[in-house]
Amino acid sequence: MWNRRKEEEPTARPTGAAASTVGGNEGMPMQTTPSRFDHDAPPAPRTATIGKGVSITGQIWSKEDLIIDGEVDGTIEAADHKVTIGPNGKVKATIKSKDIVVIGAVQGNVEAAEKIDIKKDARLFGDIKTARISIEDGAIFKGSIDIIRNETPKPAAKPQPTAAAPATQQTLAASAGGSDPKR
């Protein structure tokens, strides 16, 4: 659930292909063997951490993954990245990100382009807008849930003799996580 190893990582680390071959990076989700395509590889993911003794008021705009275990009052934006509100995190802010994981407490609207994961014991008071959502039993959530439907342009209609239509991409994208596998 809570990746403590990530929390212990130093926030500044070498980026790019060179970093992928440096030893002592256990736990980093990156390639460890050199590749001749390394120059094409995306930069290694970086994570910034706001520790539990830190309190911030204002706007946070992040170009890397963000772990918040302290207090934040304002707005948090991390497009294309993941924001994690740790178990000690207390956030009064709107959050916009690609992925959002809530383990601590959030008061404010949250918007995730891909997925919101609300863990057990999390408290989230605010409106959610996301493509997918997972919520564990024991979490407390008050607010509205708006599922973003990925409207894919339909190809030109061809006459099809078959009657039964399979589940569309749109339906799958709107589904919530952590549900009964029968569905």
Partner 1 sequence: MANPFKALLRAVQGSDDSATSLRPERPQVPPSIEQPQARPPVVAPPQLRPSPALRQFVRSLDTTRDLRLLDLGGANAANIQFMTQLGTRLYSEDFFATLEDCFGDGDYYENQRDPARVDSFLIQTFSEQRGPFDGALVWDCLQFLRPSLLDKTIDHLHRVLEPGAHIIAYFSADERAQTIPQYQFKINDQQSLFLEQRGEMPPGQAFSNRNIERLFEDFAATKFFLSRDQIREVLVRR
How far apart, in whole angstroms, are the C-alpha atoms of residue 95 and residue 128? 10
Q: Give residue for tokens 């382009």.
A: 113
With respect to partner 1, which residue has the nearer C-beta, 137 or 151? 137
Residues 102-121 that bind partner 1 (CB under 8 A): 118, 121
Answer for which of 18, 145, 150, 169 binds partner 1 (CB under 8 A) is: 145
Token output for 51: 């520790």
CA 80/CA 96 separation, integer angstroms: 10
Residue whose CB is less far from partner 1, 60 or 95: 95
Position among 146, 150, 152, 168 found at the interface with partner 1 (CB under 8 A): 146
Q: Which stretch binds partner 1 (CB under 8 A): 26-34, 91-99, 107-115, 128-136?
A: 128-136
Q: Are 103 and 122 in contact (CB under 8 A)?
A: yes
Among 45, 74, 87, 143, binds partner 1 (CB under 8 A): 143
Dist CA 172 CA 128 (whole Å):
18
Q: Kindly state whether residue 131 participates in binding partner 1, applying the rule CB under 8 A.
A: no
Q: Give kind and range of the element (H or E) at residue 116.
A: strand 110-118
Residues of the shown chain interacting with partner 1 in the complex, contacts defined by CB under 8 A? 118, 121, 133-135, 137-147, 171, 174-180, 182-183
